[in-house]
Structure 1
């Protein structure tokens, strides 16, 4: 695994733990893949399904992780959410489907910082 892959994996591991521990969500799936792409984390938040995109960056990199989801990526995440639901019978949960972004900022020294934005798309 290269450095970028290791950073991504580290960020996803941190994000999954943070969603479960701090946000009280139940992680249903990680790295779910289909022909159209991949969902980093699928979680349950009460009666809602949450599609989580995780972006990890080393502090000082070009772009802050929370700026990494534009309109094209948001549309792709919506399509992936539909596909995930379709693969499970197509029923929309009572709380609906939400798309969240979890940004992980890793400094040169010290603990990583996790930021969570709900309903980004």
Structure 2
């Protein structure tokens, strides 16, 4: 991944975090990694443990950002959620996988698409 794409992704994760916390969620972890992969954001929303994948793009030339989430990615996120919950002794919460798609416009604003409970 190039530095420009990494920077876009990092900015997108910050925008997503602000959006989700404004919705009342609490951030538990950011960019958590283990040998299985990485989770962009881990949050708590009431009794739900929310694992959130963030996808940021500058255009829809290759589709909407949320369309980049495949069945394989969802399966990996479910495995990662279990790993995170086990490592942090948070096994009593219900698991939810959310996706936040961000389309960054030339003026620096974003269109946010938040999909809750995908791949259940």
| TM-score over 0.5 (shorter chain) | yes
Q: RMSD of aligned C-alpha atoms?
A: 1.3
Partner of 2:20: 19
Partner residue of 1:116?
A: 114
The answer as to whether partners of 1:102 and 1:115 remain within 8 angstroms in 2 is yes
TM-score by length of structure 2 reads 0.92
The answer on whether the counterparts of 1:59 and 1:108 sit within 8 Å (CA) in structure 2 is: no
Give the alignment of 1:1-121 within 5 angstroms.
Answer: 2-21=3-22, 23-89=23-89, 91-93=91-93, 96-121=94-119
**Unmatched 5+ stretches in structure 1:** none
TM-score by length of 1: 0.92
Match of 2:92, SS? coil
In the alignment, structure 2 segments of 5+ residues that lack a partner are none
CA distance in 2, matches of 1:60, 1:81: 29
